[in-house]
Amino acid sequence: MKKFLTSCLVLLLVACTHEPAPQPIQLNYASLSKIYLDARDLRIIDRSKATTHWNPYVGHLFSPTLTEATHNLAAARIQTTGHLGHATFIIKDANIAEQPLEISSDLSSLFTRQQASKYIGRLEVSLEAQSSVDGSLGTASAVAVHAVTLPENPSAYEKQEAYRTLLTSLMATLNKNLDKAIKKHLSRFLLSGPYGKRKDPFVSLISPTTDSEIPRRTPSVGQGMRQD
């Protein structure tokens, strides 16, 4: 009975109010500082797609998706300026799950819109770089988790704005955590500026089924290969 009355009340309120249409989300990471790597090229691999298209996951219902936003961030920030070696950016997880929240069932709740669910977003990425000297690898990983709540019977506009808030927070956290990880684990691959002839990275999006192994140099006789 409560659910029926609540639905009627929500429909009445919606009919009496004018809500703006959902606005598209625009992403622009051009103003962020660049990360210059001593590598010849950059590959961006998405391995998150297999876990995001069934209940309770909802990330695929929005645009841009977390995967697209993360891809854009990596392509905008990571610049390869060397002549040898490779860099690989792997999107390991990029999902949003909707989780119901417990709501009150007393009489006063009939006249208020309670927070009834929340979007929980999670991003996990890694950046691998291969040394142009001995073929050894370095890896930096970063994770971001954030959540936002939604009211009962959210409109399309409210869902879009909740996603906008979630996406903005996730990307800001991922960017900060990735910066820290790169400085800590990939410092030997960093350059202070675009000194190489290639100022823009050669970026390709590889399907999740593609092998992510990075080619390694075959050591010459007497030369060992070090593995981090």
Q: What is the pLDDT of residues 2-32, one digit of tens each?
A: 455 455 455 555 444 577 888 899 999 999 9
What mean pLDDT is predicted for residues 65-90? 95
Q: 36-102+112-206: which CATH number, 3.30.160, 1.10.620, 3.30.420, 3.40.630? A: 3.30.160
Non-local (6+) Cβ contacts of 69 within 8 A are 27, 167, 171
Residue with the two structure tokens 């009211």: 151
Q: Buried b / exposed e across 86-117, counting CB within 10 Å, b at 16+?
A: bbbbbbebbbbbbeeeebeeeeeeeeebeebb
Mean pLDDT over all residues of the chain? 81
Strands (E), 10-136: 35-37, 41-46, 78-80, 86-100, 115-130
Task: Give the torsion sign (CA, 150, 152, 157, 160).
Answer: positive
Query: What DSSP state is assigned to residue 109?
Result: G
Amino acid (one-letter) located at 220: S
- Give per-residue pLDDT as tens, 120-145: 999 999 999 988 778 789 999 999 99
Q: Quote the CA–CA distance of 219 and 133 in Å, as a whole number.
A: 10
What pLDDT score was predicted for residue 204? 44
Residue 98 has pLDDT above 60, yes or no: yes
pLDDT level of residue 54 (50, 70, 90 thresholds): confident
- Strand 86-100 and strand 78-80: the pairing is unpaired
Q: Quote the CA–CA distance of 57 and 161 in Å, as a whole number.
A: 17
The three-class DSSP label of residue 203 is: strand
Domain layout of the chain by residue ranges: 36-102+112-206
Q: Quote the CA–CA distance of 8 and 156 in Å, as a whole number.
A: 18
